Amino acid sequence: MNSVWSSIANTVASMKNFLSSSIFEFYRKMLVIHLNLGRKWDNSLFAFILLILRDEKSYIRKLQRMARNNHDVSTLIVIVGVHHGETTIQYLEKIPNSIVIGFEPNEDSFEVAKLNLQRFGNRVKLLNKAVGKYQGTGRLNLFSDSGMDSLLPSVKTEAQYVHAIEITTLDFELRNYQRVDLLQIDCQGY
Amino acid sequence: MQRCLREGKIHAILTEGMFENFYSGQSTFFELGVMLEKDFDFCGFTSLKFSGDKPNKLLWVDALFTIKPKELS
């Protein structure tokens, strides 16, 4: 009988521990459980359960509301890894007083992004640089899919080209700005 | 970025976290999350990408962290 109570107490303690951990820990455990379930659980169902709690859209709505309340203050969005400007366009269209500072080290992608974003005029400042830990030059590994370009070398496939690029730091580039409303980092594992 | 974080200049971060070991020396999502949770609240995933050919193989996620969620509500 004691062992039954002991196992109940242990279960309650572990549930309490599970629920009282941070949200990040909760998600982490959910992921670990999911990945251990193998084929028994459908990926799309799991993704739906996780994404139901997502905050991206509500955050954009909050940014929009904040933008309406502060006509005199621009909403500053910094994007590291603009690629062709796909998400930059979304931000600029959905948040009218937003301005974007974007970094894209790949010259070809940078030119495409410049074309795609030219209609937004001076609301966009594009820099043909990578963001890193230091200011200087570095080597960008270029892959067949330009969305995979990275300062880091791949362990799976050889880079098609290695291109010399300029590297800057966020501390330097943002030194004259008081506030960044959103920093989006999509730079392939770096 | 360290100075920006110290000064509380950055109010939200939307970042990619990778699960697949594609790059040498890459930061995984959990490494990023643990580091960012010191200054930010984890709000949730904004997208998840599973491998098409291998079941339950998670390739990457995008996650949102905010520093002052009350100010924005």
Query: How far apart are the C-alpha atoms of B70 and A60, rounded to whole Å?
Result: 15
Q: pLDDT (tens digit, 9 = 90+) per residue, B4-14?
A: 877 788 888 88
- State the residue range of the domain holding B37: 2-72
User: In chain A, what are the domain boundaries?
Assistant: 2-51, 73-185
Confidence band (pLDDT; 50, 70, 90) for A160?
A: low
- Inspect the interface and report whether the beta carbons of A180 and B46 lie closer than 8 Å: no
pTM: 0.74
pLDDT of residue A122: 93
Instruction: Provide the ipTM.
Output: 0.81
| Among the four given CATH numbers 2.40.100.10, 3.40.50.1820, 3.40.50.2000, 3.40.50.150, the one describing domain A73-185 | 3.40.50.150
When scoring A50, A142, A185 by the number of chain B Cβ atoms within 10 A, the one with the most, hence best to mutate, is: A185
Q: On the CB side of A144, how many CA atoms lie within 13 Å of its CA?
A: 2
Number of folded domains that form chain B: 1
Q: pLDDT (tens digit, 9 = 90+) per residue, B17-56?
A: 777 677 777 777 777 777 787 778 777 777 777 776 666 6
pLDDT at A41 over 80: no
* A109-119 average pLDDT score: 94
Contact B59, B50 (CB under 8 A): yes
- Inspect the interface and report whether the beta carbons of B25 and A152 lie closer than 8 Å: yes
pLDDT at A40 over 60: no
- Inspect the interface and report whether the beta carbons of A189 and B27 lie closer than 8 Å: yes
* A27-52 average pLDDT score: 57
Query: How far apart are the C-alpha atoms of A26 and B41, rounded to whole Å?
Result: 13
Residue A103 tokens, joined: 């970094």
pLDDT of residue B71: 47
